[in-house]
Amino acid sequence: MQRALKKKVARARPGVAALQPESPSLRQQESVEPAVPARLAGDALSYQQDLWQRSVLFLDILRERANNMLDHEQAGLPPLLDFRYEMVLDARTFDAPANYALLRITGAGDPCVDTCPDESKPPVMIVDPRAGHGPGIGGFKHDSEVGIALREGHPVYFVTFFPQPCPGQTLADVHHALRRFVAEVAKRHSGQAPVLYGNCQGGWVVALLAADCVGLAGPVVMNGSPLSYWAGESDVNPMRLAGGLLGGAWLSHLTADLSGGVFDGAWLAQNFEGLNPAHALWEKNYAVLADPEGERERFLKFERWWSGYYFLGREEIVAIVENLFVGNRLEQGVMRICEHCVADLKRIRNPIVVFASSGDNITPPHQALNWVPAIYPSTEELKLAGQRIVYLLNPHVGHLGIFVSAEVARFEHRAILESLEDIEALAPGLYQMKISNPTGNPDCRKPHYEVQFEARRVEDIRYEYPRDSFERVKAVSEWNEWAYASFVSPWVRASVNPLAAAWLKWLHPMRISRYTFSERVAPWMAALAPLVAQARAERQPVDAANPFLQFEKSAGSQIARTLDLWRSAADQWNENMFRLLYGQPPYFRDDPGADDERPT
């Protein structure tokens, strides 16, 4: 037995010998291993303290946002411009009143900017979108469209509007008020036509003005502006299907009736957030939770604008939905502004600049550009009309970033303003504006960066869409709106009172999800104050390599991905439902034998 044991030891000896050099490290490992749980325990404690402090500061930021919202509402929702201004015209005093006013930007509190205006340069008139929120997004910080225009020496005017529409206000009233604004700006600058700068929905507003103010308006710049509402594609622009899935304009009419004759812009804001639930529900809030000190000012400043909801008149919202979102009449040249005036974009003679982004899911390039081939079917027709259309594409910025991003304002918008004379000197045709900036500095000026205008063909920017399907949506919408207006609307109006309208306003999810964090509404939020003071005094951010923080970030990314997958599935379901409802030919035809070639 001893002999056999010796043989086993001998066979094992080579392996043992191989381990001999590492035996000291094994002994060290045995002494280190007990420290690993202690290190993890330390990481857990430091992470727990950091998470607690961040959570307290995050709740305090939400409390401050709620108070800002209530204060802004109590102040009457004034425009959030970060510049000094004076009122030039108030359209509420016109014979056909509208809730608009023309402001002259008088300064920025910056000696350089305040001494820059050059009266020889054309004035710039900026029109913000009236799409749920209040005015100011084009100038709510110094690095904005207003700020860049001032730095470039342009006299700057800003079109503002008020929270409540005038009684019975129509799109025609608004259009005629803005027409007087254009004439007033030109008059103040020796007849020099102003550059019309339109953001989002303000884009189609300035397009109508340019078509109706021939000779008064200068170049037109449309930023993230939808003019072709039927264009788009799956997983790019799901909002184009909303009109068909909701049955058309009648639902907007009903919503306005329930609010006492006005349409609450909070519904539009909710629709925008629904396009990207991952960002609205998680990403933008988690960014503040992850870095409350760094994100606080940016978040509160933007949310002050985003949480201020304005109203549109019943007549306005119904006309907008019928003519634009559902009817798509603007690009077809059949949108009637008033009894004797039909919008025709072919009447625009001054250059048009279209600024769009491939990362924009509200106004993708499809909707920003497809009106061009709809009006000018070929490049030759565009040239024969003597028109110059220039488009500029950003590869990634989102919808609001087109007119909110400081970097975009200091780079693309400066380039547009600096290139206006070059654009007006172009031969008729379609061009893509490309900016080459080898410095990478958004604040650089020519000649450190170059702008090129590359000729393009109209045929290359045509985006096909199922026109027949959208024509059926328009027909369904017109029938539903007629039925609702004739048989239901009078009863709804008779049953609504101011108290019910007020309750409907303040119980809207976009408001209640914000103001419930205020101590004025939830008194227990006042108990947060000593915790906030303690968190700020003892603040110790955890190390970025902390494994628990890494797990938190990983879980946060997974939540965002899950919400994005849910959005993608919902969008696909909407696409399929739209095809099911409107993708087939109608069951009945006015003349069954007259359209035998229609696809079945």
pLDDT at position 17 is 42
**Beta pairing, strands 429-436 & 388-394:** parallel
Where on the phi/psi map is residue 210: left (φ > 0), alpha (ψ -120 to 50), or beta?
A: alpha
How confident is the model over 442-451, as a mean pLDDT? 76
Query: Is pLDDT at 26 greater than 50 in this prediction?
Result: no
* Rounded CA separation 177/170 (Å): 11
Query: Is pLDDT at 31 greater than 70 in this prediction?
Result: no
Strand ranges, E, within 36-99: 84-90
**Banded pLDDT at 287 (limits 50, 70, 90):** very high
Backbone phi and psi for residue 90, each to the nearest 5 degrees, phi listed first: -120, 110
**Banded pLDDT at 65 (limits 50, 70, 90):** very high
> Token digits for 245?
């899935």
pLDDT at position 595 is 39
Radius of gyration, CA atoms only, the chain? 30
pLDDT at position 436 is 87
> Token digits for 283?
């990403």
Helices (H), 528-546: 528-537
Evaluate whether 538 touches 53 at the Cβ level (below 8 Å): yes
Query: Is pLDDT at 12 greater than 60 in this prediction?
Result: no
How confident is the model over 478-499, as a mean pLDDT? 96
Top pLDDT among 14 and 168 is at 168
Evaluate whether 199 touches 131 at the Cβ level (below 8 Å): no
Evaluate whether 582 touches 469 at the Cβ level (below 8 Å): yes
**Banded pLDDT at 114 (limits 50, 70, 90):** low
Query: Is pLDDT at 262 greater than 90 in this prediction?
Result: yes
Neighbour tally for 287: CB within 10 Å = 16
pTM of the entire predicted model: 0.88
**Cβ neighbours of residue 497 closer than 8 Å, sequence gap 6 or more:** 260
Query: Is pLDDT at 29 greater than 80 in this prediction?
Result: no
pLDDT at position 402 is 93
Residue 457: DSSP 8-state? -
Backbone phi and psi for residue 266, each to the nearest 5 degrees, phi listed first: -60, -30
Evaluate whether 128 touches 135 at the Cβ level (below 8 Å): yes
**Cβ neighbours of residue 186 closer than 8 Å, sequence gap 6 or more:** 123, 192, 193, 194, 216
How confident is the model over 439-444, as a mean pLDDT? 70
Q: Which helix (H) or strand (E) holds 104?
A: strand 100-107
* Rounded CA separation 94/347 (Å): 27
Lowest-pLDDT range of 139-143, 172-176, 474-478: 139-143
Query: Is pLDDT at 586 greater than 50 in this prediction?
Result: no
Taking CA 323 as the corner, what is the angle to CA 318 and CA 329, rounded to the nearest 5 degrees?
A: 175
Average pLDDT, the chain: 88
Instruction: Report pLDDT digits (tens) over 532-553.
Output: 999 999 999 999 999 999 999 9
How confident is the model over 507-524, as a mean pLDDT? 96
Where on the phi/psi map is residue 256: left (φ > 0), alpha (ψ -120 to 50), or beta?
A: alpha
Give the residue carrying structure tokens 């204060």.
71
**Cβ neighbours of residue 90 closer than 8 Å, sequence gap 6 or more:** 101
> Token digits for 86?
């004076």
pLDDT at position 118 is 80
pLDDT at position 212 is 85
pLDDT at position 223 is 96
Where on the phi/psi map is residue 200: left (φ > 0), alpha (ψ -120 to 50), or beta?
A: left
Give the SS3 label for residue 213.
coil
pLDDT at position 25 is 52
% of the chain at pLDDT higher than 70 = 90
In CATH, the number for domain 74-230+328-465 is 3.40.50.1820
pLDDT at position 286 is 97
Evaluate whether 29 touches 36 at the Cβ level (below 8 Å): no
Neighbour tally for 544: CB within 10 Å = 8
How confident is the model over 514-543, as a mean pLDDT? 95
> Token digits for 239?
């909002």
* Rounded CA separation 204/348 (Å): 12
pLDDT at position 115 is 57
**Banded pLDDT at 36 (limits 50, 70, 90):** confident
* Rounded CA separation 517/504 (Å): 19
Evaluate whether 181 touches 125 at the Cβ level (below 8 Å): yes
Exposed, middle or buried by CB within 10 Å (0-12, 13-18, 19+), for 132?
buried
How confident is the model over 335-340, as a mean pLDDT? 81
pLDDT at position 166 is 97
How confident is the model over 447-462, as a mean pLDDT? 91
* Rounded CA separation 332/383 (Å): 19
Query: Is pLDDT at 423 greater than 70 in this prediction?
Result: yes
**Banded pLDDT at 113 (limits 50, 70, 90):** low
Top pLDDT among 568 and 444 is at 568
**Banded pLDDT at 15 (limits 50, 70, 90):** very low
Lowest-pLDDT range of 166-170, 252-256, 259-263, 463-467: 463-467
Omega of the bond prior to 447 within 30 degrees of 0, cis?
yes
pLDDT at position 39 is 87
* Rounded CA separation 155/102 (Å): 13
Instruction: Report pLDDT digits (tens) over 356-388.
Output: 999 898 899 999 999 999 999 999 999 999 999
pLDDT at position 119 is 80
Give the residues across from 87 on adjacent strands. 103
CA distance readout (Å), 343 to 174, 324, 379: 14, 12, 22
Taking CA 418 as the corner, what is the angle to CA 407 and CA 215, rounded to the nearest 5 degrees?
A: 120
How confident is the model over 7-16, as a mean pLDDT? 44
